[in-house]
Amino acid sequence: MNPDVKYFLQLVLSGLTKGSIYALIALGYTMVYGIIKLINFAHGEIYMIGAFTALIIGGVLQITTELSPLVILGISLVAAVFYSAAYGVTLEKIAYKPLRNAPRLTALISAIGMSLILQNFVLLAQTSDFLPFRSMIPDFSFLIPGKSLLTTTQLVIMVTTFVVMLFLTLLIKFTRMGKAMRATAQDKVMAQLVGIDINRVITFTFVIGSATAAIGGVLIANHTGQINFYIGFLAGIKAFVAAVLGGIGSIPGAVLGSFVLGMTESLGAGYISSAYDNAFAFLILILILIFKPSGLLGRNEVEKV
């Protein structure tokens, strides 16, 4: 293969990986925003709690049982999903539900507060040090010759992102619950009038959003090999940018925005300098918001007068 072409291909694949990583977190952001118009800043912490749950459950299973790594991964993933979903729902009940009719800024501040509380809770309950997270994903043998292009974990992250996006899109388009979610998003009062239990819909949204965050947390920790209480903040910021870029509230938008962001960072790092990858990310955000303030796939909301 021509070295220049190979280099370009490697950068594109690395951009796709970064994009998939951001997308796994951005999907939850955008779903919650779509339904209750709240930027859930504690979403990154739910992601971090997912990773910690998998670390603990996986660690215990690795020591006490002789299950194969894939089974352990599966069990940890399920545990992380349940645990994070419980956190997400509790968060909504404690911090957001009482503020549902308050100004949007109030709920936003509440979200930032919850983010700090959860970070410091994990800091106190666990440790401030980085903890090693041994990869639970065994290398696929068919990928070994091409590992300079694409590693197994990267492939798993990409595939998962697409499956999750597909699942969410189908869920929202074709199920009863999806219909109820769309109705709640459009007009909460009218939705209640036609008999939709919006509390149930919102709880469900937090369950799904937190579950995707937990899946993201586990897979990304497999990729980075280490976690601490602060990973959610850093990842959350990038995912938030990606969600805004794609048009916050739109599921395909979150994925598209994430890929645009990941690709910009990767190509920028590859052809210009990796010292400025954050600068490229925010530059593209500014450019897109100047020309399309609602984001790539966001719908312009008509202000009713």
Which residues of the shown chain bind other proteins in the complex (CB under 8 A)? 3, 7, 10-11, 13-15, 17-18, 21, 129-132, 134, 147-148, 151, 153-154, 220, 223-226, 228, 230-231, 234-235, 238, 265-267, 269-270, 273-275, 277-278
For the chain, the maximum distance between any two Cα atoms, rounded to a whole number of angstroms, is 65
Q: Is-contact 161 20, C-beta < 8 A?
A: yes
181: Cα within 13 Å, side-chain hemisphere: 27
| Least gap, CB of 58 to other proteins (angstroms) | 14
Give the nearer residue to other proteins in terms of CB position, either 4 or 66. 4
| In the complex, minimum distance from the CB of residue 177 to other proteins, in angstroms, rounded to a whole number | 32
| Cβ atoms of 44 and 28 closer than 8 Å | no
User: To the nearest whole angstrom, how small is the minimum distance from the Cβ of residue 14 to other proteins?
Assistant: 4
Nearer to other proteins, 18 or 188 (CB): 18
- Cα–Cα distance measured from residue 160 to residue 275, given in angstroms and rounded to the nearest whole number: 29
Decide if 85 contacts 214 (C-beta within 8 A).
yes
Burial class (CB in 10 A: 0-12, 13-18, 19+), 21: buried
Tokens for 61, please give them.
Answer: 């299973």
Min CB(276)–other proteins separation in Å:
8
Q: How far is the CB of 299 from other proteins (least distance, A)?
A: 30
Environment class of residue 55 by beta-carbon count within 10 Å: exposed (0-12), middle (13-18) or buried (19+)? buried
Nearer of residues 132 and 293 to other proteins, judged by Cβ: 132
Looking at the Cβ atoms of 98 and 132, the one nearer to other proteins is 132
Tell me the CA distances in angstroms from 277 to 26, 157, 244, one per residue in order.
19, 21, 18
Residue (115 or 228) nearer to other proteins, CB: 228
Distance, CA of 119 to CA of 261 (rounded, Å): 26
Q: Which is nearer to other proteins, 26 or 201 (CB)?
A: 26
Give the shortest CB-36-to-other proteins separation in angstroms: 28
